[in-house]
């Protein structure tokens, strides 16, 4: 996808320390020339926040400012929270990365093209499981939320979504009902096309449903929902008090209005059947706490996970001599759901309907950055908006000027 290219600019630059006021001035200038409704940024090191600021509007029509406290979905950056939960489950002794998923699941998941090749957890976390999905099917997983105004539900954009397939009424709405329907040979959504023609571990193919399956394994072993496990072991542990996995878990009044690629308002939505892959709702303030904790964990100073689990979570999972097919040279390796760029920085991107988010840190400098905006760079049909991406590149480069005090 287009957003994979953003990983090219996860690396930091060694520049002179710049004052907060001058950073804000530069970012205001970029915002004034951009098409963003609003955005927020955070820069941290292991000791805490170095810079944090919001710009523009969370709601353009009502002139509500976008601040570090503004909430919204973060798209696939959510998968890094699956990683944290998964490594906590490993700490608890539930399984290892080498565990065959069928040793845990109450139903069988078998690639019909390779029935004798087990799918292991390590394949899920590196997107090499061979579990596939089509964009046309994925749009059916979206549900329009009850928090929408009548005007939004009567808009041409909502009608277009419905025509394309969003808000399908008969899709299952829990991990435990959707996943067997899609992956089990007796499931109503099962198809051989749901699986790759390559054996598990042999080919990289980004898989949202494979990611959700990893989250569901935690549910099965922990005896609680993935959301509850994540809240208990990650969110509460680092005081991410304003974040959650569903709209009814956050203060909806602080949620940003989301906008499509042309700047038109979008309805509130959720993806209850696959929420772990992109449904986390948070803000720049809470993400600053999270990214700080990740940096502490990287250097062995966090108690969120064991030192061994942090090391595994951020370890390159592929050796140079055993790379899967289809790996991009721009993203030459994978950790546990986290991505490496070719300069060694670690991060993840997120895009969804009305959402763009980028999270990353440079192990060499110990500085991490987070960017979030309430407009999509790419729409559900694959159309992109290059000026939006160009504005982001400018913002990210300005943030490179911030160094530890």
Does residue 187 register a pLDDT over 70? Answer: yes
What's the fold here for domain 2-399?
Beta-lactamase (3.40.710)
Mean pLDDT value of segment 182-205: 96
Mean pLDDT value of segment 243-262: 95
pLDDT on residue 5 = 44
Handedness of CA 374, 380, 386, 389 (dihedral sign): positive
Closest CA to 288 of 51, 13, 23, 26: 51
| Range with lowest mean pLDDT among 108-117, 144-153, 244-253 | 144-153
Contact 239, 247 (CB under 8 A): no
Domain boundaries, the chain: 2-399
Mean pLDDT value of segment 168-176: 86
CA distance between the termini of the chain: 36
Q: What is the distance between the alpha carbons of residues 284 and 304, in angstroms, rounded to a whole number? A: 20
pLDDT in tens, 298-317: 999 999 999 999 999 999 99
Q: pTM for this structure?
A: 0.94
Interacting residues of 188 by C-beta distance below 8 A, sequence separation 6+? 181
pLDDT in tens, 16-49: 456 899 999 999 999 999 999 999 999 999 999 9
Unique residue bearing structure tokens 């990611």: 211
pLDDT on residue 14 = 43
Unique residue bearing structure tokens 């909430």: 71
């Amino acid at each position: 996808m287009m957003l994979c290219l953003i990983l090219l600019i996860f690396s930091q630059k060694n520049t002179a320390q710049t004052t907060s006021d001058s950073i804000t001035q530069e970012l205001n200038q970029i915002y004034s020339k951009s098409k963003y409704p609003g955005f927020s940024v955070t820069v941290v090191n292991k000791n805490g926040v170095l810079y944090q600021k919001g710009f523009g509007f969370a709601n353009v029509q009502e002139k509500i400012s976008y601040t570090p406290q503004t909430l919204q979905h973060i798209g696939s950056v959510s998968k890094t929270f699956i990683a944290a939960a998964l490594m906590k489950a490993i700490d608890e002794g539930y399984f290892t990365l080498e565990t065959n998923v069928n040793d845990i699941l109450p139903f069988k998941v078998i690639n019909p093209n390779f029935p004798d090749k087990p799918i292991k957890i390590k394949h899920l976390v590196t997107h090499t499981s061979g579990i596939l999905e089509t964009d046309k099917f994925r749009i059916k997983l979206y549900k329009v939320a009850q928090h929408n105004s009548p005007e939004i539900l009567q808009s041409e954009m909502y009608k277009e979504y419905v025509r394309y397939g969003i808000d399908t009424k008969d899709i299952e709405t829990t991990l435990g009902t959707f996943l067997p329907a899609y992956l089990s040979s007796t499931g109503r959504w099962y198809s051989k096309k749901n699986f790759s023609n390559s054996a598990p571990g042999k080919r990289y193919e980004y898989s949202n449903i494979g990611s959700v399956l990893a989250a569901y394994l935690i549910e099965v072993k922990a005896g609680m929902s993935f959301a509850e496990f994540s809240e208990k072991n990650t969110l509460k542990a680092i005081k991410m008090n304003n974040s959650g996995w569903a709209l009814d878990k956050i203060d909806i009044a602080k949620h940003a209005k989301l906008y499509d690629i042309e700047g038109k308002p979008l309805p509130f939505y959720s993806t209850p059947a696959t929420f772990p892959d992109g449904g986390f709702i948070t803000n720049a303030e809470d993400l600053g706490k999270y990214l700080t904790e990740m940096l502490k964990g990287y250097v062995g100073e966090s108690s969120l996970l064991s030192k061994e689990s942090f090391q595994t979570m951020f370890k390159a999972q592929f050796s140079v001599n055993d790379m899967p097919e289809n790996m991009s040279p721009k993203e030459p390796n994978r950790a546990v759901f986290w991505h490496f760029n070719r300069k060694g920085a670690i991060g993840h991107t997120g895009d969804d309907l009305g959402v763009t988010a980028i999270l990353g840190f440079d192990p060499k400098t110990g500085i991490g950055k987070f960017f979030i905006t309430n407009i999509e760079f790419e729409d559900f049909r694959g159309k992109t908006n290059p000026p939006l991406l160009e504005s982001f590149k400018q913002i990210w480069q300005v943030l490179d000027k911030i160094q530890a005090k």
